[in-house]
């Protein structure tokens, strides 16, 4: 087995699958010269144009080789640790939850700022997996065996504050990144780590029944598939253990719930107005590195950092 094969064999199935999706999407961007504006997270496009697919595709798109490289290295480190501790199915549900919910939180923040007169977040486009990364960083800090985290070897802070420190520190070091994109991920992780997302997660019983299903034998037979572990305090906190609800009993997909929530907030704030088009739009690299990409009516030479 080659060295690359050995490295890939150490990556659990869910982590490897989502990472592969990101890489394939980036390759498609390059090979087919895809327009990022069609796939990025844009609150105005989702809310007013009903382009709900952006809530999903934006997480898998990246703006450069450096962008996806940094994100995937961070994701592999966090994903391997959490998936080995909680299992492949748990990790899959967590990432899906993070992708959808962080987009919803992002749009709610954009709506709130728009209601106070700022259109910046409504018009900008963002992309990248870093919202999910910050979500996972919160969970990793929650289950960290050490109660403190070293900061560049200079001082220590309580582990539970580490994601918030990184949120501020990265913004300070790279002021052009998307603070709101990262904040949405931190808030998602905080909700899950405090047990408030239990009912968007399946029960432990459901996870184990699913693992034993003959229909999924082709998945669970992979050597990199990790079974749901024995119950522990962290697992109880992160999953639905009460037997009611759970992701498997949703009669309305999370997608529909997110859409209806956004439509409701939009109607309360704007009524049936506010359908006007934006003349200028922006794109975020790495849920950050915000760069204005002009609409077709604007000369590309006029693009500038925001």
Q: Which of 182, 184, 193, 200 is catalytic?
A: 182
For 27, 132, 218, the CA distances from 20, given in Å and listed in that order, are 10, 15, 18
Q: In the Cβ-directed half-sphere of 122, how many Cα atoms lie within 13 Å?
A: 21
Longest dimension (CA), the chain: 61
Residue 85: Cβ within 10 Å count: 17
182 catalytically annotated: yes
Number of other residues whose CB lies within 10 A of the CB of residue 225:
17
Question: How far is CA 261 from its chain centroid?
Answer: 19
Verify whether residue 196 is a known catalytic residue: no
Instruction: Say how many C-beta atoms besides its own lie within 10 A of residue 234's C-beta.
Output: 16
For residue 93, give every residue at least 6 positions away whose Cβ sits within 8 Å of its Cβ, in sequence order, or none. Answer: 201, 202, 247
Write down the catalytic residue from 14, 58, 130, 141: 130
Beta bridge partners of 294: 280
Q: 203 in the Ramachandran plot: left (φ > 0), alpha (ψ -120 to 50) or beta?
A: beta
The catalytic site residues sit at 130, 182
């Amino acid at each position: 087995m080659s060295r690359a094969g050995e490295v890939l064999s150490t990556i659990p199935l869910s982590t490897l699958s989502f990472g592969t999706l990101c890489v394939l999407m980036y390759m498609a961007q390059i090979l087919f010269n895809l327009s990022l504006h069609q796939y990025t997270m844009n609150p105005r496009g989702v809310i007013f144009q009903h382009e709900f697919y952006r809530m999903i595709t934006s997480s898998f798109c990246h703006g450069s080789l450096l962008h996806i490289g940094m994100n995937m290295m961070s994701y592999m480190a966090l994903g391997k640790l959490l998936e080995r501790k909680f299992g492949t199915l748990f990790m899959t549900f967590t990432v899906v939850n993070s992708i959808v919910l962080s987009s919803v939180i992002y749009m709610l923040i954009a709506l709130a700022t728009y209601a106070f007169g700022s259109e910046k977040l409504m018009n900008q486009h963002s992309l990248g997996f870093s919202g999910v990364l910050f979500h996972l960083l919160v969970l990793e800090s929650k289950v960290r065996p050490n109660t403190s985290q070293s900061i560049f070897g200079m001082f220590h802070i309580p582990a539970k504050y580490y994601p918030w420190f990184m949120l501020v520190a990265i913004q300070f070091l790279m002021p052009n990144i998307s603070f709101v994109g990262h904040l949405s991920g931190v808030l998602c992780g905080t909700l899950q780590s405090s047990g408030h997302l239990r009912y968007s997660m399946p029960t432990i019983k459901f996870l184990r029944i699913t693992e034993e299903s003959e229909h999924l034998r082709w998945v669970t037979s992979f050597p990199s598939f990790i079974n749901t572990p024995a119950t522990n305090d962290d697992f109880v906190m992160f999953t639905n253990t009460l037997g009611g609800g759970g992701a498997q009993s949703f009669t309305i997909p999370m997608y529909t719930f997110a859409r209806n929530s956004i439509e409701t907030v939009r109607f309360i704030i704007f009524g049936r107005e506010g359908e006007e088009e934006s003349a200028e739009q922006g794109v975020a690299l790495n849920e950050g590195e915000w760069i204005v990409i002009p609409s077709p009516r604007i000369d590309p030479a006029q693009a500038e950092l925001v």
